[in-house]
Every structure is written in structure tokens, then in C-alpha cells.
Amino acid sequence: MMKRILTLLIALMFAGPAFAQGGPLRLTITDGVIEPITFAVPSFEAETPQAGQLASELTRLVAQNLSGTGLFREVPASAFISQVGSFAQPVAFADWRAVNAQALVIGAVSMTGDQVNVKFRLFDVFSGQELGGGLQFAGTTAGWRRMGHKVSDAVYSRITGEGGYFDSRVVFVAESGPKDNRLKRLAVMDYDGANVQFLTDSSSIVLAPRFSPRGDQVLYTSFESGFPRINLLDVADVARRQIATAPGEMSFSPRFSRDGRQVIYSLSNGATTDIYRTDLDTGQHVRLTATPSIDTAPSLSPDGSQIVFESDRSGSQQLYIMSSTGGDARRISFGEGRYSTPVWSPRGDLVAFTKQNAGRFHIGVMRTDGSEERLLTSSFLDEAPTWSPNGRVIMFTRETQGADGASALYSVDISGRNLRAVPIQSAASDASWGPLQP
Amino acid sequence: MKMMTKATLLLLVLATAACTNPNRFGAGGAGGAGAGAGGFDATTGMAGSASDPRSPAFFNQTIGDRVLFAIDQSTISPEGRTILDGQAQWLLTNADYRAVIEGHADEQGTREYNLALGFRRANAVREYLVSRGVPSARLEVTSYGKERPIEVCSNEACYSQNRRAVTVLSFSAMTS
């Protein structure tokens, strides 16, 4: 087991030799071994007098975002030989090479009233070239973190060639209270735990919220009626309503289709729990599985043609894939232990899952044919993975054991590296990572 | 006006009846704010005395309001059958009561599966009670999965108490 975990400690390999020859700065995320790219981000220039503090906070946020990926390592400002005087000035590449900064991010911030303008440039220090053109973002002081995330996403994308994930939100369950009377509220936050906003109060248990593809709605399971039922909530005005599922005693584990117009979910009736699909516009229901087993946790492929789900039809929880119209399902998990909560990656190539084996829980990934299983984590209780918008990071719930046990959100690379707790004031569980914001 | 008063009274009765066994989630109580508020006590008031065979207290304490399950199972044990035989008998005698059977799981499992497993356990209890003559219209089932453990340690001593299905009585004038 341990060996297996170690074998997946991959990550990225960057084009080291290409640097030496003055080629472009490029970090290719593959299964190689890692040397983080070093970057320097001198404090952004304040172009208007009152922008000083915001400029420095934005700079720190960009540095935190990049370092937080584990793909980049910051060269501390104390090592700098030269400071960047002005945004437009030529860059003294020799000074940045001397402190071994491979990438240099410079920026400038101006403020008029509560209007903020942020611009930045990215340089490949060793080739002495600019990567991409300068970009600027306009917004308000209240939304300054989003501008910092946008800058970070642009830097990340230009160096890795992949989409970013910093300017995204996560819906989750904020928890408080003792273990035998946990209070749960829906909340949203920035991907990094900032800007927490509550969407419900804690008067009834809420479970497993799921963002709509555009991040404007949330499906979740609520005990408001005394029975688990699927609710739909609009993020903007927190209006919520129970959705009309197929007739049944208990509905849960909902997820949106990619167009946001349909819901796939579990419905329990009598002795069985099956998977259904309901069209939110027409209210039409389709039953997708019909077995005496527990079929739950459905997740659609990005093209909408297939559903991965868990079922105990073989005697224990395992992962299966079927057509999104139902019918025969093929089992894809065959390792030791039990597999559950599958989630199809946004790229379509992988399925993240929870695995329970020999008294431990793991978050893992496998190809959609079940091959190349890799366990990324191991603890007393890990569960409920969710993918970053670019499919490179997984956020999940980790719960500690015992009477004082509590849940927290963690993130980990799909390489198994860079395990981090998401800093949130309260205990938290059941994250659903929303899209990159427009 | 008179109708409205009646309706209000009935609501009050139902609200009170909703907590004939407030300890079903453990000493801390749970199940939403307000359950048990108003000074209702399982050993007094509507629940009656545990020595009165017609009282909910007798049902909860003397017969036993819950059955326990083996790991990942929903089969009723021989001990469970004895308890459920008593519950069925009580429900047949006290036709003014309905019941919600609440299924639970221990924490060793994922959230969704445990919800379904709790439901499976609650349904096994319902099927057993129906097989003993209790009209199914008086029984509802729900599941809390692993959300409401009654014991909070992380070992089998607690887990075995948490894998349960609890029959929660409510008084209803509208009997079937």
C-alpha cells in the first residue's frame, strides 16, 4: 500500500535544459520528478498614492497563490539585488538571474475612488524575454482578491500551458457543535478559504452541496422536511426550493448535468436506492438503475454521455460506468477494499474516488477504464473529492477521530504532492469546486 | 374560529409528540433546535411512566425503541426481533400512534452510502413491523446516515451503538 502511494509521487518536470539554451520558460506537468520553478514578485508599483497598501496585498496574494501550487517557489524579497523601479522600465535580468529567479512577475496598481486597476508583466529571466503581453484588470476595491487571482491564473497558464484555478469559488458545509449534534450550514468561499459567506442557517442538517456548471446555483441535500430531500439554491439571492424528484421516500447525492438543466441523483424507496435523472425544466424523471443494491454518488463525464457511480451490487461498494441513459454498467474498480464517491475529472481522463481499506480511507484517482489507480492520501477518514476547474488539484474532506474529531478541507495535487489544509475559520466538509469565474 | 383553535391545538400536540424519545440522538439531544423545548420530559407528561404499558415511555424504555446492526448489515438480529415483536404489539394496542423509523450508520463509511445504509436498516425494521401486523400507513422511514451518532468515540464500543434504527413515536388523532 505504502509503496503504491509512493510510486505516484509524481508531478512535473520542467524543461530544464531548454532554459540553459535560452528557450522559453515552460513547466510541463507530467509524471516526472519535480523542481519547482523559482519566481520573484517584487512589490507591485503603486501608481497612485493611495494604492500602496493594496499593491502590497495584491503582490502577497499572487505570491501565495503561486507558491501554494507546489509548482513554484518564491525567491524572498530579502535576496533581491535590485528593485523594480517602474512598470515600464527595462528589466535588469542579470540581477534576477543572480538570485536564481527563473520567472519574474512585475505589476502596478492604481486606484481612483473605489476603482482599481491592476496590470502585470511576466518575464522569463534566463532567456530575457517577456512571456505573453502585459495584461490589466479593472475592478473595485471590494473585489481586489479576484484581481490578484486573475493575475495568478494568467501567470500559471502562461508557464504551464494549462488553465488556472485561483479565481474560483468553493461551496461547502461549515460545521460547528459537538459530534453528536453537529450544526451544518452551506457556505461559499474563495478557493483559498477567504471570503466565506453563509448560504443557509443551521436549523436543519445540510449535506453535500454541488455547484452548477456556471457556479450560480447549488444542489444539496436538506433535512428541512425531516427527510433527506434535494434542494436547489440560487447563490445570488439564496432563494431555495425543494426540487420535484421522482416519487420516493428519500432523495440525495444530486449533481448537475453539464448544461445545468438536469439533475442526476439517488432515490431511496422501500429496500432499494437507485439513480435517477430529472429534467429541471420539464420535471420529467428517468430511472437509470434498477437493482436491489445501493446505487449512489453519480457523476457525469464532461461530454455528458456517461455516468460513473458507486454500487454495492457485487457485495461491497465498487465503481461502475454506464451510459447516461442507463442500461448495463461495467465495473471499473478491482483493487482491495471499497470504492465510493467517484467524480469524473473536468478533462475526462480520470475518476477521483474515496477508497476504504484495512481501516484507512484514501483519496485516489484512476483512469476511466480502472487502470493506473493511484492513492493520493491516507488517513482515519478522507472522503468526498472534488476537482479544481483545471483538473490538477483535488479538494476533499478529512475528519479526525475520537470524541473531539472534526472535519476540515484539504487539497492535494493529482500527483499526490502538496497536501495542504484549506484555511477556514470553522470546521468544514463536502466541498464542491466551482468553475473559473469569467 | 373554532376550527382554527382546534387546528392550533392539534399542531401543538403533534409538535410535542414529535419528541416522545428525545434521547434518540444521544444525551445532547438533536434533530433541530427546539425539539424538547418547552420542558417536555420523556419520563413525564405525554410519555407517561415506564411502568404504564400504554405509555410511550414504556415503549421507549421497557420494550426498547431501537435495534442494533452488525457492520454494513441491515439484517435484524434475534435480539432485535424480540424488541420489534414488543414494538409491534404496542403499536397494535395503541392505534393512536404513528412512528418514524430513523436509520443510522457508524462513521466508518462515506456520507452518501451511509445515508442509503441507514435507510436500508430503517426499512428492514418497517418490513418486520408490517410482517407483525402493523399497518404500513402508520410507519415512515428516514435515514440520518452518519450524521447523528449517539456515541462519539471512534471504536467499536461506540460504533455498535450508532448502527441503529430507532422507532420514534408520534401521537396522531388521524389514525388509519
Residues of chain A contacting residue B100, judged by C-beta atoms under 8 Å apart: 226
Choice among A393-397, B16-20, B86-90 with the minimum mean pLDDT:
B16-20
Segment B3-14 mean pLDDT: 44
Q: Tell me, what's the ipTM?
A: 0.90
How many whole angstroms separate alpha carbon A68 and alpha carbon B69?
45
Q: What distance in Å separates the CA atoms of residue A159 and residue A172, rounded to the nearest whole number?
A: 30
Residue B46 confidence (pLDDT): 53
pLDDT tens, A165-220?
A: 999 999 999 999 999 999 999 999 999 999 999 999 999 999 999 999 999 999 99
Strand pairing partners for A404?
Answer: none
**Sequence spans of domains, chain A:** 2-160, 169-436
pLDDT higher at A147 or B15: A147
**Residue A2: is its pLDDT beyond 80?**
no
SS3 A287: strand
Topology, domain A169-436 = Neuraminidase (2.120.10)
CA distance to A70, A107, A171, A202, per residue, from A426 (Å):
25, 34, 14, 13
pLDDT tens digits for range A65-76: 999 999 999 999
Q: Do A340 and B29 touch (CB under 8 A)?
A: no
- Name beta bridge partners: A107: A120
pLDDT of residue B48: 78
Split at pLDDT 50, 70, 90, the class of A15 is very low
**CB < 8 Å to B146, chain A:** none
Check CB contact under 8 Å for B112 and A205.
no
**Residue B1 scores a pLDDT above 80:** no
Rounded to whole angstroms, the Cα distance separating A36 from A380 reads 30
Nearest CA in chain B to A317: B113
What confidence score (pLDDT) does residue A30 get?
Answer: 57
CATH of the domain spanning A2-160:
3.40.50.10070
**pLDDT reading at A91 higher than 70:** yes
Counting residues of chain A whose pLDDT is more than 90, the rounded percentage is 88
Q: How confident is the model at residue B135 (pLDDT cuts 50, 70, 90)?
A: very high
- Residue B17: pLDDT band (50, 70, 90) is very low
Cα–Cα distance for residue pair A103/A127, rounded to 1 Å: 10
Mean pLDDT of A153-161: 96
Condensed to tens digits (0 to 9), the pLDDT of residues A289-300 reads 999 999 999 999
* E strands present in A1-85: 13-14, 27-28, 37-40, 45-46, 72-74
The proportion of chain B whose per-residue pLDDT surpasses 90, expressed as a percent, equals: 68
Mean pLDDT on A33-57? 91
Mean pLDDT, range A392-421, rounded to an integer: 96
Average pLDDT, chain A: 92
Q: Do B112 and A403 touch (CB under 8 A)?
A: no
What number is the average pLDDT over the span A413-424? Answer: 94
B19/chain A closest Cα distance in angstroms: 13
- Mean per-residue pLDDT, A287-310: 97
Architecture of domain B2-20+48-171: 2-Layer Sandwich (3.30)
Size of interface A-B (CB pairs under 8 A): 114
Contact B151 A180 (CB under 8 A): yes
Mean pLDDT across B33-44: 36
- Is any Cβ of chain B less than 8 angstroms from the Cβ of A227? yes
Number of H helices, E strands in chain B: 5, 4
State residue B74's pLDDT score. Answer: 97
Q: Which of A219, A267, A269, A273 should one mutate to test binding to chain B, selecting the residue with the greatest count of B CBs within 10 A?
A: A273
Q: What is the mean pLDDT of chain B?
A: 82
Task: Give the residue extent of every domain in chain B.
Answer: 2-20+48-171
- Report how far residue A411's alpha carbon sits from residue A323's, in angstroms, rounded to the nearest whole number: 30
The one-character DSSP state at A91 is: P
At B27 the pLDDT is 45
A86 contact B CB<8A: no
Give the distance from residue B74's alpha carbon to the nearest chain A alpha carbon, in angstroms: 10
Query: Per mean pLDDT, which range of A5-19, A244-258, B96-110 is the poorest?
Result: A5-19
Inter-residue contact A344 to A300 (CB < 8 Å)? yes
Q: What average pLDDT does the segment A308-333 reach? A: 97
Q: Which of A228, A381, A405 sits opposite B115 (nearest CB)?
A: A228
The residue-averaged pLDDT of A46-60 equals 95
pLDDT, average across residues B130-138: 97
pLDDT band of residue A8 (cuts 50, 70, 90) is: very low
Q: What is the full DSSP assignment across A126-191?
A: TTTEE-S--EEEEEEGGGHHHHHHHHHHHHHHHHHSS---SSEEEEEEEEES-GGG-EEEEEEEET
State pLDDT tens for residues A102-133.
Answer: 999 999 999 999 999 999 999 999 999 999 98
| Per-residue model confidence (pLDDT) at position B120 | 97
A14 or A146, which is more confident? A146
- What pLDDT band is residue B154 in, cutting at 50, 70 and 90? very high
